[in-house]
């Protein structure tokens, strides 16, 4: 009888050790840590930008004339056509197509551009990502004074700027861009040579596909 009692006591002691509060608390703590890791990983995955994605949209805002262009027209609200391609987690290709007409007194200036820029992102905070941009492009500036227009000639130029994007969901992105455009000088025979620059402050809306 004593033999069976001693065996029973051993079994009870072992079961108490296995199911002790300390052991249960430790297992629950480990389980909570694993769940926290899974939640954190899912948040990171949801915040990551998708690469190799296309986007098309518009930019609406103010065009500011600088230099010679300032004498030929007023600043005004204009719209740009935008396209982006997400090449990597840090860099995007941005294509900007724009055309605008500005007038002041009896002078006018037409600004046309097709530019390609690289958007470089230093970091992302959740769905918000600031960036710097810079690139080259083709421009066709034209001026008119007292009814005398310059000839339309294409020229090269550069652009640079900064901005920020806010991803609303997997399909829509809104943002802000400040971009400076500098076409190279265009020689003219009958009018003044065309030299000047302009800046654009745009609110943007992009659709991903």
- CATH number of domain containing 137: 2.40.160.20
Pairwise CA distance, residues 157 & 67, whole Å: 15
The reported pLDDT for the residue numbered 169 is: 93
pLDDT digits (tens, 9 = 90+) for 66-109: 999 999 999 999 999 999 999 999 999 999 999 999 999 899 99
Average pLDDT taken over every residue of the chain: 86
The reported pLDDT for the residue numbered 104 is: 93
Statement: residue 8 has pLDDT above 60: no
The domain of 164 spans: 54-208
* H helix or E strand, kind and range, residue 83: strand 76-86
Quote the number of domains for the chain.
Answer: 2
Q: Nearest 5°: phi and psi at 181?
A: -115, 135
Residue 31 and residue 77 share a domain: no
Residue 63 and residue 122 share a domain: yes
Statement: residue 43 has pLDDT above 50: no
Residue 145 and residue 69 share a domain: yes
Residue 38 and residue 71 share a domain: no
Residue 67 and residue 111 share a domain: yes
Which among 24, 189, 199 has a CA at the least distance from the CA of 111? 199
The reported pLDDT for the residue numbered 128 is: 95
Residue 22 and residue 61 share a domain: no
In whole angstroms, what separates CA 103 from the centre of its chain? Answer: 32
Residues in the chain: 209
> Tokens in use for 173?
């992105």
Statement: residue 201 has pLDDT above 90: yes
Residue 40 and residue 104 share a domain: no
Which among 156, 119, 163 has a CA at the least distance from the CA of 137? 156
pLDDT band at 34 (very low <50, low <70, confident <90, very high): confident
Strand partners, 201: 62, 178
């Amino acid at each position: 009888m004593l033999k069976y009692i001693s065996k029973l006591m051993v079994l009870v002691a072992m079961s108490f050790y296995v199911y002790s509060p300390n052991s249960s608390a430790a297992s629950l703590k480990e389980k909570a840590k694993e769940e926290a890791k899974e939640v954190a990983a899912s948040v990171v995955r949801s915040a990551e930008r998708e690469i190799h994605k296309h986007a098309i949209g518009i930019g609406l805002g103010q065009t500011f004339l600088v230099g010679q262009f300032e004498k030929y027209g007023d600043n005004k609200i204009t719209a740009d056509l935008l396209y982006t391609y997400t090449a990597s987690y840090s860099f995007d290709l941005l294509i900007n197509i724009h055309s605008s007409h500005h007038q002041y007194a009896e002078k006018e200036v037409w600004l046309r551009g097709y530019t390609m820029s690289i958007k470089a992102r230093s970091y992302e905070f959740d769905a918000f990502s600031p960036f710097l941009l810079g690139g080259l492009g083709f421009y066709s500036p034209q001026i008119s004074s007292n009814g005398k227009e310059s000839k339309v000639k294409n020229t090269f130029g550069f652009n640079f700027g900064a901005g920020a994007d806010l991803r609303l969901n997997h399909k829509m992105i809104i943002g802000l861009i400040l971009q400076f455009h500098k076409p190279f000088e265009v020689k003219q025979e009958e009018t003044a040579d065309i030299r000047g620059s302009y800046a654009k402050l745009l609110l943007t809306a992009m659709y991903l596909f």
